[in-house]
Amino acid sequence: MAAPKALLLLLLLLLPVSNAAQPPRTLQVPVFHRDAVFPPPPGAKRGGHLRQSLAADAARTYSLVDTTVHGLLHSPVRYTGIPFENGEYFALVGVGTPFARALLVIDTGSDLVWLQCRPCRRCYNQQGRLYDPRGSSTYRRIRCSSPQCRLLRYPGCDGSNGGCRYRIAYGDGSSSTGDLATDRLLFSNDTYIDNVTLGCGRDNEGLFYTADGLLGVGRGEMSISTQVAPAYGRVFAYCLSNDRTSRSARSSYLVFGRTPELPSTMFTALLSNPRRPSLYYVDMTGFSVDGERVTGYSNASLALDPATGLGGVVVDSGTAISRFARDAYEALRDAFDARAAAAGMRKLPREYSVFDACYDLRGTPAASAPPIVLHFAGGAEMALPPENYLLPVDVGKRLTYYCLGLEAADDGLSVLGKVQQQGFRVVFDVERERIGFAPNGC
């Protein structure tokens, strides 16, 4: 199915074909919410995408945990399914020479850049045309003996031509298999990067509907953030706008390279886990509700143990809803409940989906919800706006309830998801080993 004509016109304007005389100091990537690119049908229920993604969220978080730290056999599952049905953010890039436009989901929890390619043995239904590497003069297969092939966790070799094969299997059953190659990527500020290692997917299935592939921006060697580091440094930032229908290139964005810091940016240390080196860990120290620090849970609940690889908090653009260790989540939920009751929010007696704290706000504005602040080591904090944690859920009969949009984690890993990150400029500064958060950053 072809993309809407208005969108194609927009993409033509955002990806020029000429190369700048002087490469810019930063690499700009336009980013769009999937609702802006592929609007939901008229009459679609609020929160519908959210409900469809929660099971995939759970599968993703399970596979972000390295099963070897639990003494289990490590199955051939590297990453988990990305919840594409919940408000995904697409990065727009050009691939090949001449370039073809590709909409790739931004994922800080994985490394490989890949897209569906012709000829395709089995491909899911994407909105645009499949990329055909036979039409690119800069496309090159990578040999099995190459260093790039050896970086793969599960490399394969094509016996007929000696080409390297990759396979990524996700925890929800989604997968991508194909040829490891290099090609040119074109970005919106007239700049291209040659010889980018990427996957050309020939056999793909699962929850990748509408996207052309995935843009891995993890900390590993295959990541696009690592591959462009010689020119732009090991630092990038993004802002995922709350305005999901905006097609403005000035709304959501992804930028590689060091940019001027917003005065409101607060930094905390970037931690490393030797068992999961591709993930971005932060030292989260707790929560506040309505100005009071939440108590009643173990201080170790959110801490990373580098010796075992257990625990910790990961900043992840591929997970929708934030998940915190159960005792920490329950303490936060109970503190919110108490303050919500004082503010006149009527709690519902039943759960909705995975949410166990839902409210009937008829007669009570959502803006009056008790404010939640996330605290990090070094004094950094994220004061969440209500729309980042009080999520609408349609329950029929023209009724919309609001639920505390957080979950309990029982697998040892806490995750700061993209719904809570929306509207913040998030800076991943690997060079200085820190992560920054700035409100109103889009």
Active site residues: 107, 316
* Strand positions, DSSP E, 82-174: 89-95, 100-107, 114-116, 140-141, 156-158, 163-169
- C-alpha–C-alpha distance, residues 178 and 160, integer Å: 14
- C-alpha–C-alpha distance, residues 196 and 93, integer Å: 12
Tokens 């919500």 found at: 340
- C-alpha–C-alpha distance, residues 439 and 442, integer Å: 8
For 41-58, letters b (16+ CB in 10 Å) and e give eeeeeebebbbebbebbb
Closest among 298, 353, 349 to 324, alpha carbons compared: 298
Tokens 């499949």 found at: 130
Q: How far is CA 61 from CA 138, 405, 410, in A?
A: 37, 16, 10
360: tokens are 């009937």
Yes or no: say if 76 and 169 are a contact pair by the CB < 8 Å rule.
Answer: yes
293: tokens are 């620090």
For residue 120, count other CB atoms closer than 10 A to its CB.
Answer: 17
Measured torsion, CA atoms of residues 166, 169, 304, 225, in degrees rounded to the nearest 10 = 40
- C-alpha–C-alpha distance, residues 161 and 141, integer Å: 10
